[in-house]
């Protein structure tokens, strides 16, 4: 899926007096990933100009994060499903059902909000286990199982919410989707100092992590970026982080959901890139038969992929219900399409085996910026759907083009 340029070469006498071979390391760049980032930057700049600077107002940036948190959370789980070569069409219905159960647990059963969260997460995991069983151990294709799940769980939602809506949820619960961390460190130039400190800490952590990764590549004599390219990328990343925190600090501070998203992105990036479970997911998507012959327990990996997807759908359901302040039967409509689109725009391959959490998040941000920019411009909802569909088609077409070009070399 990704168009990359990387190579190593050995030739006698390359930089050694005695003529001994020396390994030359060249740039290893994921062109697709850079292309997505460039596309996101262009879209932001375009709407910033078209909206007369309204897109990046602090309030709109805050709303962009809170309104699209469910897409990003679902995309994190969906990218793992798609890398493994499956699909999940049921997540929108699971979001609605979990939101209904959480609201019932608080308002009808009288559970405290934190206990309702545990019930909701457990429900999502059970749903994932149910679907994972049929896919992994019975052998029914995920498309069919999750299509059935989409209908089943939507029906359960309608049964649970016979009155149509459950509102009046506790403020501690609604703060998860629509609240902010209190600014307890004073103010700087009229800005929330705590939010600015978070930006500095995040920037420092990013640079340390990137330097450690670069040092590991050097020790293993693997290809790595030249210093100029590496530091340019870090400067751009730090500038983006500080710009985001500067804008948020001028509104109400750090949204609670932003912290949740950051934890999920870091945790799942580690799982996919550093854990045995993550390597098994990539192996299954790349070549299922080879993975089986290598001793990968593919059925159990598939099972836990869907358990994880169910749990993340529950998190998205909690966030969506908390932001709305109520549970409604129509919640979660088309959420699965938004998540799948985000994953493919973010660089995942249709055939599986390729994709990253960061790429899926970037794809979700592309969708979110499109939604917000078009809404600010008062573009009709029908045209918004058409434009998002066109963007998805272009992203997949770009992937196909890169593969064909790579195959011709």
Q: What is the pLDDT of residues 98-132, one digit of tens each?
A: 999 999 999 999 999 999 999 999 999 999 999 99
> Average pLDDT, stretch 184-193?
70
Share of the chain above pLDDT 70, in %: 88
How buried is 281 (Cβ within 10 angstroms: 0-12 exposed, 13-18 middle, 19+ buried)? buried
| DSSP state at residue 136 | I
Q: How many residues does the chain have?
A: 409
Instruction: Identify whether the C-beta of residue 149 lies closer than 8 Å to the C-beta of residue 86.
Output: no
How far does CA 383 lie from the centroid of its chain?
25
Calculate the CA dihedral of residues 401, 228, 37, 273 and round it to 10 degrees: 80
Any idea which architecture 30-46+54-179+255-408 has in CATH? Orthogonal Bundle (1.10)
| Helical (H) or strand (E) element with 29 | strand 29-30
- Region for residue 158 given its phi and psi (left: phi exceeds 0; alpha: psi -120 to 50; beta: otherwise): alpha
Question: What pTM does this model have?
Answer: 0.86
> Average pLDDT, stretch 288-314?
95
Q: What is the DSSP string of 290-310?
A: HHHHTT--HHHHHHHHHHHHH
> Average pLDDT, stretch 27-51?
76
The pLDDT value given to residue 229: 78
Q: How far apart are CA 362 and CA 348, in angstroms?
A: 12
pLDDT of 7 over the 50 cut: no
What is the pLDDT confidence band of residue 163, given thresholds at 50, 70 and 90? low
pLDDT of 6 over the 80 cut: no
């Amino acid at each position: 899926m990704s168009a990359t340029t990387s190579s190593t070469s050995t030739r006698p006498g390359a930089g050694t007096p005695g003529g001994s071979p020396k390994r030359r390391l060249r740039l290893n760049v994921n062109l697709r990933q850079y292309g997505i980032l460039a596309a996101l930057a262009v879209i932001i700049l375009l709407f910033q100009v078209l909206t007369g600077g309204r897109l990046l107002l602090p309030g709109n940036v805050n709303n962009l994060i809170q309104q699209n948190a469910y897409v990003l959370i679902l995309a994190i789980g969906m990218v793992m499903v798609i890398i493994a070569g499956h699909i999940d069409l049921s997540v929108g219905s699971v979001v609605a059902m979990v939101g209904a159960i959480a609201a019932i647990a608080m308002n009808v059963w009288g559970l405290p909000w934190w206990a309702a969260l545990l019930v909701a997460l457990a429900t999502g995991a059970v749903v994932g286990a149910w679907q994972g069983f049929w896919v992994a151990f019975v052998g029914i294709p995920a498309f069919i199982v999750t299509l059935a799940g989409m209908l089943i769980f939507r029906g359960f939602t309608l049964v649970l919410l016979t009155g149509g809506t459950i509102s009046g949820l506790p403020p501690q619960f609604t703060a998860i989707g629509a609240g902010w961390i209190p600014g307890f460190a004073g103010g700087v130039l009229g800005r929330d100092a705590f939010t600015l400190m978070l930006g500095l800490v995040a920037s420092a952590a990013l640079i340390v992590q990137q330097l450690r990764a670069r040092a590991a590549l050097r020790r293993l004599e693997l290809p790595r970026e030249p210093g100029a390219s590496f530091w340019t990328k870090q400067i751009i990343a730090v500038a983006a982080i500080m710009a985001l925190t500067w804008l948020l600090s001028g509104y109400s501070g750090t949204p609670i959901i932003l912290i949740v998203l950051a934890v999920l992105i870091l945790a799942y990036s580690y799982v996919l890139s550093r854990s045995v479970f993550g390597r098994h997911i990539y192996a299954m998507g790349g070549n299922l038969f080879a993975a089986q012959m290598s001793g990968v327990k593919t059925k159990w990996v598939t099972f836990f992929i869907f358990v994880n997807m169910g749990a993340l759908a529950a998190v998205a359901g909690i966030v969506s219900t908390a932001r709305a302040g109520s549970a409604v039967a129509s919640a979660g409509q088309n959420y699965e399409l938004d998540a799948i689109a985000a994953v493919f725009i973010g660089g995942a391959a249709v055939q599986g085996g390729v994709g990253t959490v960061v790429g899926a998040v970037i794809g979700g941000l592309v969708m979110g910026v499109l939604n917000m920019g078009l809404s600010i411009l008062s573009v009709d909802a029908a045209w918004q759907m058409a434009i998002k569909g066109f963007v998805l088609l272009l992203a997949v077409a770009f992937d196909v083009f890169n593969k064909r070009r790579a195959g011709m070399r």
